[in-house]
Amino acid sequence: MRGAHRTEEIAPFYVMQILARAAELEAAGKDVVHMEVGEPDFDTAPPIVEAGRRALAEGKTHYTPAIGIRALREAVSQFYRNRYDVEVPAERIVITPGATGALQLVLAATVDSGRSVMMTDPGYPCNRHYVTLLGGRTIAVPVDPETNYQLNADLAAKYMDADTAALLVASPANPTGAVLDDAGLQSLMALAADQNRFLIVDEIYHGLSYGRSLPTAAASPSVFVVNSFSKYFGMTGWRIGWVVAPPEHMDALDRLAQNMFLAVSTMAQHAALAAFQPETIQVLEQRRDEFQRRRDYLVPALKKLGFGVPVDPAGAFYVYADSSAVVPDSFSFCRDLLEEAGVAVTPGLDFGSHRAADHIRFAYTTSIDRLREGMDRTARFMESRRL
């Protein structure tokens, strides 16, 4: 029997095929440099792990309220006060199963079937599938270095239609590492308010920015902000994130969360309380510094090989390199680079269709030594191909 039509619209992530093929090659004894993985290579910081172990020892194995334990919602509120000097009351905060849950929760609360959500192409690939699941439609706005790979008010106004329920932006963004500055954020907020659309800001990679501190949209009581403990806080496997919502939508989010999630992992919530402690933040900042060193190695190394990096990737842990001067088709290049040189990277195709064949995402989620090895292998591969 045939499944639902939507299943045919959901393409696999190519990065998953690459991961699987890399694992096969490794099982056959080949060494692979992993520059495809969207996950910090560090284990969760010790104080967080210890808090998780303590929670388990204390029998913290039962359900919590759907929107999370009060102590964690207050800790997130305090974090906004400490780090950004803004007031985000705990009453506006929902703890979620990762940003994955957070994005689906916010879209379920804001986007009716038949309406559209605007997002960038390239962008995080799951977003359009969340919209599909809800019977909505994606407006993929092609973005280029000219607008720092971000939406701005002009672009948004140009692509908006009568059905547009929400604009979804990310800063720092996956795959480009591009950030929104305060003026950009304010102009999108103004447009959304003026046109009566929801603005959803994905701040999943906040904390991982280099050379500048980023403004948060969370202070605005009319914006939905999605965040995660996965990236800066290094808690990927725990599956925990959060939403900051306009107060008048909290009741709907609570009812949706009761149904969609029932509750979030209890031990993850108790562990996350330790994520904001000074000794944890110290570890996380050292890791952030290490990501910056890797970026500062990788960007010039890629440019030396002929890849274009027209905009400084100011956040996250990705370089979205323009490969058009090097190869005509990034997809086959990625495939062959893995097979012949043992370097795993992600083709642009995973992130949309706009100039996808001209781009490759290089993740710097591995050590500088391994990045160097990856670049050396890439150089030799290109020489052998006379690229």
Q: Which is nearer to a second copy, 20 or 28 (CB)?
A: 20
Residues 235-254, mask of contacts with a second copy (x by CB under 8 A): xxxxx------x--x--x-x
- Site for a second copy (CB under 8 A): which residue of 74, 83, 84, 129? 129
Q: Is 135 an interacting residue with respect to a second copy (CB under 8 A)?
A: yes
The size of the interface with a second copy (CB under 8 A), counted in residues, is 69
Minimum CB–partner distance for residue 376 and a second copy (Å): 26
Q: Is 27 an interacting residue with respect to a second copy (CB under 8 A)?
A: no
Q: Is 21 an interacting residue with respect to a second copy (CB under 8 A)?
A: no
- Site for a second copy (CB under 8 A): which residue of 21, 25, 26, 56? 56
Q: Which is nearer to a second copy, 106 or 311 (CB)?
A: 106
Minimum CB–partner distance for residue 305 and a second copy (Å): 29
Q: Is 39 an interacting residue with respect to a second copy (CB under 8 A)?
A: yes
Residues 91-120, mask of contacts with a second copy (x by CB under 8 A): ------xx-x---x---xxxxxx-------
Residues 293-322, mask of contacts with a second copy (x by CB under 8 A): ------------------------------
- Site for a second copy (CB under 8 A): which residue of 22, 119, 268, 349? 268
Angstrom distance (rounded) from CA 249 to CA 252: 5
Please give the distance of CA 141 from its chain centroid, rounded to a whole number. Answer: 18
Q: Which is nearer to a second copy, 366 or 378 (CB)?
A: 366
Angstrom distance (rounded) from CA 38 to CA 174: 9
Q: Which is nearer to a second copy, 199 or 357 (CB)?
A: 199
Minimum CB–partner distance for residue 311 and a second copy (Å): 27
Q: Is 71 an interacting residue with respect to a second copy (CB under 8 A)?
A: no
Q: Is 209 an interacting residue with respect to a second copy (CB under 8 A)?
A: no
Cβ distance 289 to 78 under 8 Å? no
Q: How many CA atoms lie within 13 A of 33 on its CB side?
A: 24
Q: Is 277 an interacting residue with respect to a second copy (CB under 8 A)?
A: no
Angstrom distance (rounded) from CA 370 to CA 350: 24
Q: Is 263 an interacting residue with respect to a second copy (CB under 8 A)?
A: yes
Q: Is 64 an interacting residue with respect to a second copy (CB under 8 A)?
A: yes
Q: What distances in angstroms separate CA 333 from CA 92, 244, 271, 284, 384, one per listed residue?
A: 46, 41, 42, 34, 13
Largest CA distance in the chain: 62
Q: Which of residues 138-177 bind a second copy (CB under 8 A)?
A: 165
- Site for a second copy (CB under 8 A): which residue of 47, 52, 68, 184? 52
Q: Is 60 an interacting residue with respect to a second copy (CB under 8 A)?
A: yes
Angstrom distance (rounded) from CA 156 to CA 232: 29
Q: What distances in angstroms separate CA 250 from CA 237, 379, 382, one per listed residue?
A: 27, 52, 53
Cβ distance 201 to 217 under 8 Å? yes
Query: Residue 67: is it exposed, middle or buried by C-beta count within 10 angstroms (0-12/13-18/19+)?
Result: buried
Angstrom distance (rounded) from CA 326 to CA 305: 8
Q: Which is nearer to a second copy, 108 or 283 (CB)?
A: 108
Contacting range for a second copy; rule: CB under 8 A; set: 70-78, 262-270, 308-316, 350-358: 262-270
Query: 87-107 burial, b if ≥16 CB within 10 A, otherwise e?
Result: ebeeebbbbbbbbbbbbbbbb
Place of tokens 């990705």: 318
Cβ distance 88 to 74 under 8 Å? no
Binding-site ranges for a second copy (CB under 8 A) = 1, 3-7, 10-13, 16, 39, 43-44, 49, 52-53, 56-57, 59-64, 66, 97-98, 100, 104, 108-113, 126, 129-130, 133-135, 165, 196, 198, 222, 234-239, 246, 249, 252, 254-256, 258-268
